[in-house]
A and B are shown apart, each in its own frame.
Chain A
Amino acid sequence: MKKTTSISIPRRIILGAALTAAGVALSGCGGGAAPAGGGNVELNFVFWGDANRAKVTEEALRVFEKKNPGITVKTEYQDSGPYADKLATRFAGGNPPDVLAMANRSLLEYAQRGTLADLKSMPELNLDKVPATVQSRGEVDGKLYGLATGVTSIGMVVNKTITDQAGVAIPDDKTWSWEDYAKFATEVTQKTGGKVYGAGYDVATETGPILLARQRGEDFYTEDNKLGVSEETIRDWFQYSVDLRKAGGYPPAGFFEQIGGSPAQSYLAKGTVASQIIPINNFRGYNEAVEGDVVLLRIPGETTEKRRGYSADPTMLWSIAAKSKHPKEAAKLLDFLTNDADGAAHTLTQRGVPVNPEVAESITSKLSADDKTFVDMMAAIQEDELAPAYVYPKGASVVADTLKQLATEVEFGRVTPADAAKTFLEKSNAAINK
Chain B
Amino acid sequence: MSVLTKQAPGAAAALAAQPGGQGRRGHSRRTNQRSGYLFLLPWFIGMLFTIIPFFASLYLAFTDYNLFTEPNFVGFANFQAMFEDPRLLQSLKVTFIYTFVSVPISLAVALLIALILNRGLSGLPIYRSVYYLPSLLGGSVAIVMLWRYIFGNNGIVNGFLGLFGVQGPAWVTDPEFALSTLIVLNVWTFGSPMVIFLAGLRQVPSMYYEAASIDGASRWRQFCNITLPLISPIIFFNLIMQLIGSFRTFTQGYVMSGGTGGPADSTLFYNLYLYQKGFTEFEMGYASAMAWLLLMIIAIFTAINFIASKFWVFYDN
Contact = CB atoms under 8 A, between A and B. Distances in A.
Given A22-B43, A254-B174, A92 B233 contact: no
B259 interface: yes
Interface stretch (B28-36, B109-117, B278-286, B296-304): B278-286
Interface in B279-317: 279-282, 284, 315-317
A132 interface: no
A304 interface: no
Given A7-B233, A257-B152, A113 B264 contact: no
B256 to A, nearest CB: 10
A109 B148 contact: no
Interface stretch (B100-108, B123-131, B195-203, B213-221): B195-203
B61 interface: no
A26 B258 contact: no
Given A26-B42, A81-B258, A114 B264 contact: no
A77 interface: no
A255 B153 contact: yes
A25 interface: yes
A125 B301 CA distance: 59
Contacts of B169: 254
Contact of B203 (A6, A253, A408): A6
A245 interface: no
A409 to B, nearest CB: 5
Contact of B49 (A10, A26, A109, A253): A26
Contacts of A95: none
Nearest to A259: B148
B175 interface: yes
A397 B264 contact: no
Contacts of A25: 46-47, 49-50
Contact of A85 (B42, B200, B204, B280): B280
Interface stretch (A66-74, A172-180, A278-286, A398-406): A398-406
Given A13-B199, A88-B282, A414-B175, A405 B67 contact: no
B237 A409 contact: no
Interface in A181-206: none
Contact of B258 (A84, A258, A395): A258
Nearest to A19: B43
Contacts of A28: 49
A404 B280 contact: no
A13 B195 CA distance: 10
A254 B258 CA distance: 15
Given A7-B233, A7-B315, A114-B69, A409 B175 contact: yes
A258 B261 CA distance: 13
A89 B199 CA distance: 43
A17 interface: yes
B249 interface: no
A92 B288 CA distance: 15
Interface string B21-51: 0000000000000000000001101110110
Nearest to A431: B281
Contacts of A380: none
B135 interface: no
Output the residue of B174, B234, B241, B263 with the most chain A CB within 10 A. Answer: B263
Contact of A254 (B173, B262, B276): B173
B194 interface: no
Contact of A26 (B46, B202, B204): B46
Interface string A403-418: 0111011001010000
A34 interface: no
B143 interface: no
Contacts of A404: 260, 262
Given A22-B42, A408-B264, 10 more contacts: A6-B200, A9-B202, A10-B233, A10-B234, A10-B237, A13-B196, A253-B170, A401-B260, A408-B263, A412-B175
Interface of A: 5-10, 13-14, 17, 19, 22-23, 25-26, 28, 81, 84-85, 88-89, 91-92, 109-110, 113-115, 253-259, 395, 397-398, 401, 404-406, 408-409, 412, 414, 431
7 contacts: A7-B233, A8-B203, A10-B199, A253-B170, A257-B170, A259-B152, A404-B260
Interface of B: 42-43, 45-47, 49-50, 66-69, 148, 152-153, 169-170, 172-176, 196, 199-200, 202-205, 230, 233-234, 237, 241, 258-260, 262-265, 276, 279-282, 284, 315-317
